[in-house]
Structures are given as structure tokens and as C-alpha cells.
Amino acid sequence: MEDYNNSNYNYNYDYNPDDDYQPSTPDKSIKGLKIMIVILAVILIGLSAMYFLQVKQMRDDFAVERDTLTNRLTTLLANYDSLRTENDTISQHLEVERFKTDSLLQKLQSERRLSYRKIREYEKQLGYMRTVMEGYIRQIDSLDKMNKQLIGENITYRKEIATARQRADMAEEKANELSTQVRKGSVIRARDIALRALSASDREVSRANRAARLRVDFVLVGNELSTPGERNVYVRIIGPDGYVMANGANDVFNYEGDMITYSAKRSVDYQNQDLSVSVFYNGAGITGGKYSVMIYIDGHLIGNNEIILR
């Protein structure tokens, strides 16, 4: 025991004044941790600020894109409203495309959250609708050009038809005039009309009161335009008293739509050459005075003369 105690007392302990204060390791760790927290907070604040700025920028960009798309769709609708065509098929297609455009505009306006993907989809659909509308515009322009061309051709044809009708009318008028001239030219004429008083033995007498009947002499003038053949020649003799001399009440013929009385008639064979004709009146009432003699053939008055019998 003694030895043990002595050995404890004999133990040499070296004293170092610097060993009186030693900083603890946990304090350094806490300090470093605080620094790290501050740094991370600053970084987080910066990142948050950048995020909010980016979000705000995106919202602003989306708002601009929404307005742009809205304006483009509104313009497209106005263009559809301005398109007019008389083609029923194209009009129906235009109405369908306009309904699609209006539906897309309403969808865009009701869209709460836009994204770049949605914006691209809207732009793609809008581009397709624009292409479709431009196609219809080309079709309508083509139809308008065709219509204008057809209208121009129609006007030209109408003018040509009008000109042709005018020429046809003029030709018909000239033909009618020519036909009228031919008809007039084909009428047989009478010349050298004479009235003679005859006795019962057919000898000419100088006094009308001695006459038994009257003879009308004339020449049917040759006319190449007339149709040859047999014809009835009618003679009207108006006596000094102003009445037509007639043998019977039924001695009438058609002249210009009226049935008029004749004094004598005869059938002749006309062959387009001068033909001397004599027609006899065998009725009563022969007196001295001025007589009017008129010759008719084919419904035409072909000659007349005034003759005085003593």
C-alpha cells in the first residue's frame, strides 16, 4: 500500500497554460450551419423571385398570344361574313367553316390556362382554317370570273342575236316589200278601154237611144310575172244616173272583202301576152250621157275609163 501511494505522489503532471481554454467543436458546426442556411435562403429567395418573374412573363406572353389569336379569329369571322356567292354548295361550306371558327373563338375566350402547347394547337387550327378560307376565296373569284366571262359572252351573243334579228327583220321587210312589188308587178293591167253602143244586129250606132246593148273593148296587157291560165274578167258600168248597170241582183263578185255588183263578165285564157277582150252588157237602161267603165281581174281593179255616149 505504501508503495502504491508513493507511486501516486511521485507522478509528474506537466501543466500548459494554453490548456486553460479550448473552443468546443459543436459551436463551430452551428455557426457553419447558420451560414449555410442564410446562403440557401438567399438562393431560395432569388430562385423564387426568378420563378415569379418567369411566371409573370409567361402570363403576359400568354395574354398577348390570346389577344393575337382572338384578333385573328375575329378577322377570319369577318372575312367569312364578307364572302358572298350564288353557289349554294359553296355557301353551305362557308357556313360550316364559319361555325367552326366561331366555336374555336369561344373556346379560346373560355380557356382559363393557356400553355405553349395549347397556343400551338390554336395556331395550327387557325392556320388550317385560314387555308380553307383562302381556298374558298379562290373558288369564288374563279366563279366570279367565269360569271363575268359568261355575262360578257351572253351580252355579246345577245347583241349578235339582236343584230341577226334586226337583219332578219330587215330581210323579211325587204322580202315583204319585194313580194308586194312582185304581187303588184304581177297584176294584169287593162288598156285601151272603150265603150260602144250596138244595135240588135251588133252594129255600132251613134246614138245611145238606138242601142240594144253595150260592148266594152279593152286589151289585157302582157305580163311575164303573172301566172298564166283562165281567169274571170268583171266589168262594172256606171250609167249617167250614177247607178251600176246590172242584169240581175245576183251578179256580184268579191272585191277587197266586199261583194259588189258587176255589169258583165267573161272567162279568158291569159298567157302572159297582150289579149284583146270584148265584154257585152245586155241589160236595159241605156241612155245618152257619161259612163264610167271599170275592169276587174283576180280581185284587182286593173283599169277604168270615162266615156260619153250621145
The model's pLDDT over 46-64, given as tens digits with 9 standing for 90+, comes to 777 676 666 555 566 567 7
Instruction: Judge contact between 217 and 194, C-beta under 8 A.
Output: yes
Q: What is the pLDDT of residue 56?
A: 59
Residues 6+ apart with CB under 8 A from 189: 220, 221, 223, 302, 303
Cα 151 to chain centroid, rounded: 6
Q: What is the pLDDT of residue 197?
A: 92
Q: What is the pLDDT of residue 304?
A: 94
Burial 120-155 (b: 16+ CB within 10 A, else e): eebeebbeebbebbeebeebbeeeeeeeeeeeeeee
What confidence category does residue 4 fall into, taking pLDDT thresholds of 50, 70 and 90? very low
Give the side-chain half-sphere CA count within 13 A for 159: 5
Average pLDDT of the segment spanning 117-129: 84
Spatial separation of the C-alpha atoms in residues 178 and 225, rounded to whole Å: 13
Q: What is the pLDDT of residue 273?
A: 94
Spatial separation of the C-alpha atoms in residues 62 and 103, rounded to whole Å: 20
Helices 116-186 and 25-82, interaxial angle, to 10°? Answer: 10
DSSP string for 95-135:
HHHHHHHHHHHHHHHT-SS--HHHHHHHHHHHHHHHHHHHH
Helix then strand count (H, E) for the chain reads 4, 10
Burial 98-114 (b: 16+ CB within 10 A, else e): beebeebbeebeeeeeb
Q: What is the pLDDT of residue 55?
A: 58
**Does the pLDDT at position 79 exceed 60?**
yes
Residues 6+ apart with CB under 8 A from 304: 193, 292, 293, 294, 295
Average pLDDT of the segment spanning 119-129: 84
What confidence category does residue 70 fall into, taking pLDDT thresholds of 50, 70 and 90? confident
The count of other CB atoms within 10 Å of the CB of residue 286 is 22
Average pLDDT of the segment spanning 146-168: 82
Q: Return mean pLDDT, the chain.
A: 81
The model's pLDDT over 94-119, given as tens digits with 9 standing for 90+, comes to 788 888 888 888 887 787 777 778 88
Among the listed residues 118, 124, 131, 81, the one whose alpha carbon sits nearest the alpha carbon of residue 102: 81
Q: What is the pLDDT of residue 192?
A: 94
Higher per-residue confidence, 189 vs 104:
189
The lowest-confidence range among 2-11, 54-63, 76-85, 101-110 is: 2-11
Spatial separation of the C-alpha atoms in residues 103 and 101, rounded to whole Å: 5
Spatial separation of the C-alpha atoms in residues 305 and 216, rounded to whole Å: 11
The model's pLDDT over 24-46, given as tens digits with 9 standing for 90+, comes to 566 777 877 878 888 888 888 87
What are the residues facing 259 on neighbouring strands? 254
**What phi and psi, each to the nearest 5 degrees, are found at residue 186?**
-85, -5
Q: What is the pLDDT of residue 179?
A: 66
Q: What is the pLDDT of residue 291?
A: 94
The model's pLDDT over 225-273, given as tens digits with 9 standing for 90+, comes to 888 999 999 999 999 999 999 888 788 999 988 999 999 999 999 999 9
Task: Report the Cα–Cα distance between both ends of the chain, in Å, rounded.
Answer: 225
Average pLDDT of the segment spanning 78-95: 78
